[in-house]
Amino acid sequence: MKYIHFVYTLLVAGSLFIAQSPLRAQDVLDRQVPALSMHEQRLDDVLQTISKVGNFYFSYSSGLFKKDSLVSMTLEHKTIRQILDTLFRGRLEYKVNGNYIILRKAPPPVITSPPHTGPEDKKYVVKGIILDENTGEAVSQASVYDKQGLIATLSDSGGFFTIRLKNRSSPAALTVSKELYDDTTVKIEPGVNQKITITVSPTSISKKMVTIGPEGYLPSDSIRVELDGAPVYLRQDPIRVEMSGLGKLLLSSKLKIQSINLRKYFIQQPFQLSLVPGLGTQGILSPQITNKLSLNIIGGYTAGLDGVELGGVINIDKKKVQGLQAVGVANVVGGPLKGVQLAGSHNIVLDSVRGLQAAGIGNFDKGKLKGVQLAGIMNKVSDSVEGMQAAGIINIAKLQMNGVQVAGIINITHKLKGAQIGLINIADTSEGYGIGLINIVKHGMHEISLFTNEVTPLNIAYRSGNDKLYTILLAGYNPGNDRKSYLYGFGLGHRFHLNKTLSLNPELTNEQLIVDGWSNYKYTNFISKFNLDLRVRLGKYFSLSGGPSLAIYSFDKKITVNGHDFSPVADNYGSWRISDKVTGWIGWRASINFL
């Protein structure tokens, strides 16, 4: 059977070859092809057969249509144009160049139903359906919008949409945008109620990766929304306000889909007023518009800011914010911030910040901070900080702190190049200063000392920080009958390296002395000391140190022990009286240090 078909094709081709001179004078598209019958043949094979029979060439892009589609048809004296119309049903247009027929995508068809409204109507309605150009299937959740009127809607699960437009005499157009489809703009007749059909072309995704997983799996750079009761997963950039906690909570699925579909469409406007996100003067197109002045009664969701934004509860901006943001509860910004951010509760920026942030609870930045953060509870920067963080409880600069951290409890950074001031200061490496009760530098000083001195023969101390500034926690005990006492204290020190082995360590300490048992802890007995030790390093983990000290002892009440007034040093130890409740002396210290 195939052999008979082949011979038939050759005979037809031969007859056309004999008559090719008059055929060439015709438009190639108007040539007639003799009767042909094809059954379940590939589309590209059908085109090849027609080109051979008609003695011309086809030219087209390899991705223009599905070449492996099966075709069954019977042709009886049809022109090539009629055959192509039957095969592609208007999805392609044809251009003749010499003996070539060039196939290319046809512009989107617009089908209108034109019952006219009266001239007094201020608005008109356009209804329609969005179809996939290749498959003819309905395209749901596509954004349909009027760029001039700033009006938008979404197609439903069947691809249908309804949009109400403002009447105007100028030419009107609707644009359709959809994730993974090319943007399509069609002209419509203004002032006319009409029904239209718009076809959209899928974007080439040959270089994109598709992830398929079980129910409940969500890739880290994807967003999950509920559409018509079913979950839809859309791949997104890692940094988006829609993926933030407040974004997931407060933004509707329609707003999220609209924002995703229109990711390339952004404009600027002087002003917007919103009641809640998506309900305002700019409608559901608000996430695509940057404003000079933005007022949100409860909350707003816009593209960005270049001016002033004020909100009652929440301000959400997708991209860059420049100027002043002030809100009762929270500001959320997806792009960089340059200016001032004020919030009763939270400021959240998913990019870098240059300026001032002040919040009642916390400031949270994903990018770098160059400026000042002030918070009642917490500041957190996931990158580096150049400036200042001040918080009631905790500051975090995840990569580097080049400035000052001040916290009521704890400061944390990876690399410190400035100063940390808090009860607890933590860094991985430090080239700066930690000022606090506990300073922990992972790759810094960690030293335990056992020492004796003129007041308490048994003592232990822990030093942490770096050579520039380290903190000292110490405790001591004197078991003597007449001078029985306990001691604990805190201090700061610095290490001057004289060479690889020797160093000079000046230290200031303040120690609380508890005399003759813990029952006397309520009395003030302070010893303030300045120690100057010479340290000799004897190996990687061991050193000896010792030196003189200057001690000042102050107390609020004399305590009698075994019938004698208590003195921190022996009665025959050389000391001098400064006042009735203050004495001083020159002391000493000798230590064994474990590094």
Residue 478 is encoded by which pair of tokens?
């004197």
Q: Judge whether residue 109 has pLDDT over 70.
A: no
% of the chain surpassing 90 pLDDT: 41
In angstroms, the CA 304 to CA 553 distance is 63
Q: Judge whether residue 128 has pLDDT over 60.
A: yes
In angstroms, the CA 524 to CA 519 distance is 12
Q: Which residues pair with 407 in a beta bridge?
A: 391
Q: Which pLDDT value is given to residue 107? A: 62
CA-based angle 113:117:118, to the nearest 5? 155
Least confidently predicted of 261-270, 274-283, 383-392, 489-498: 261-270
Residue 479 is encoded by which pair of tokens?
């078991």
Least confidently predicted of 264-268, 325-329, 365-369: 264-268
Q: Which pLDDT value is given to residue 217? A: 43
Q: Judge whether residue 369 has pLDDT over 70.
A: yes
In angstroms, the CA 126 to CA 117 distance is 12
Residue type, 6: F
| Comparison of pLDDT for 399 and 101, the residue scoring more | 399
What secondary structure does DSSP assign to 403-453, as a single string?
EEEEESSEEEEEEESSEEESSEEEEEEESSEEESSEEEETTSEEEEEEEEE
Q: Judge whether residue 111 has pLDDT over 90.
A: no
Q: Judge whether residue 114 has pLDDT over 80.
A: no
Q: How confident is the model at residue 285 (pLDDT cuts 50, 70, 90)?
A: confident
* pLDDT tens string 403-462: 999 999 999 999 999 999 999 999 999 989 988 888 889 988 889 999 999 999 999 999
| Comparison of pLDDT for 234 and 419, the residue scoring more | 419
Least confidently predicted of 221-230, 252-261, 358-367, 527-536: 221-230
Cα–chain center distance at 110: 40
Helix (H, G, I), strand (E, B) or coil at 247: helix
CATH 3.55.50.30 domain extents, the chain: 2-105
Q: How confident is the model at residue 234 (pLDDT cuts 50, 70, 90)?
A: low
Q: How confident is the model at residue 291 (pLDDT cuts 50, 70, 90)?
A: very high
Average pLDDT of 21-30?
A: 55
Average pLDDT of 330-353?
A: 95
| Comparison of pLDDT for 374 and 284, the residue scoring more | 374
Max mean pLDDT range (36-45, 164-173, 298-307): 298-307
CA-based angle 114:117:120, to the nearest 5? 155
- Let me know if 14 is exposed, middle or buried by CB neighbors in 10 A (0-12, 13-18, 19+): exposed
Alpha helical stretches, state H, 27-129: 43-54, 80-88
Backbone φ and ψ for 7, nearest 5 degrees, come out as -65, -40
**Separation in Å, CA 213 to CA 180, 218, 221, 253, 306:** 20, 8, 14, 22, 41
> Which H/E stretch holds residue 125?
strand 123-132
Max mean pLDDT range (165-174, 221-230, 409-418, 579-588): 409-418
What is the architecture of the domain spanning 123-200?
Answer: Sandwich (2.60)
**Separation in Å, CA 388 to CA 22, 335, 380:** 87, 21, 12
Q: Which pLDDT value is given to residue 99? A: 81
Domain 2-105 CATH class label = alpha beta
Q: Judge whether residue 226 has pLDDT over 60.
A: no
| Comparison of pLDDT for 484 and 493, the residue scoring more | 493
| Comparison of pLDDT for 262 and 161, the residue scoring more | 161
Those residues whose C-beta lies under 8 Å from the C-beta of residue 570, and which sit 6 or more positions away, are: 483
Q: Which pLDDT value is given to residue 117? A: 46
Q: Where are the strands (E) in 470-556, listed by range?
A: 470-478, 485-493, 496-497, 502-515, 525-537, 542-555
Q: Which pLDDT value is given to residue 169? A: 61
Helix (H, G, I), strand (E, B) or coil at 84: helix
Those residues whose C-beta lies under 8 Å from the C-beta of residue 3, and which sit 6 or more positions away, are: none
The answer to whether 440 touches 424, Cβ cutoff 8 Å, is: yes
Terminus-to-terminus CA distance in the chain, angstroms? 94
Max mean pLDDT range (42-51, 243-252, 315-324): 315-324
Backbone φ and ψ for 220, nearest 5 degrees, come out as -65, -25
Q: How confident is the model at residue 368 (pLDDT cuts 50, 70, 90)?
A: very high
Half-sphere exposure of 226 (CA within 13 A, CB side): 5
Residue 61 is encoded by which pair of tokens?
């892009």
**Separation in Å, CA 167 to CA 120, 122, 160, 585:** 9, 5, 22, 96
In angstroms, the CA 456 to CA 383 distance is 47
Helix (H, G, I), strand (E, B) or coil at 336: coil
Residue 488 is encoded by which pair of tokens?
């604990």
* pLDDT tens string 58-107: 877 766 777 777 888 777 778 888 888 888 877 788 888 778 888 877 76
The answer to whether 533 touches 585, Cβ cutoff 8 Å, is: no
CATH of domain 445-594: 2.40.160.20
In angstroms, the CA 192 to CA 173 distance is 12
% of the chain surpassing 70 pLDDT: 86
**Mean pLDDT rounded to a whole number for the chain:** 82
Pairing of strands 279-280, 267-276: antiparallel
Q: Which pLDDT value is given to residue 248? A: 72
* pLDDT tens string 158-193: 999 999 888 766 678 889 988 888 888 888 888 888
CATH 2.40.160.20 domain extents, the chain: 445-594
Q: How confident is the model at residue 38 (pLDDT cuts 50, 70, 90)?
A: confident
Q: Judge whether residue 496 has pLDDT over 50.
A: yes
In angstroms, the CA 282 to CA 259 distance is 13
Closest CA relative to residue 411, chosen from 402, 403, 421: 421
Q: What dihedral do alpha carbons 291, 294, 296, 299 form, nearest 10°?
A: 40
Q: Which residues pair with 320 in a beta bridge?
A: none
The answer to whether 593 touches 544, Cβ cutoff 8 Å, is: yes
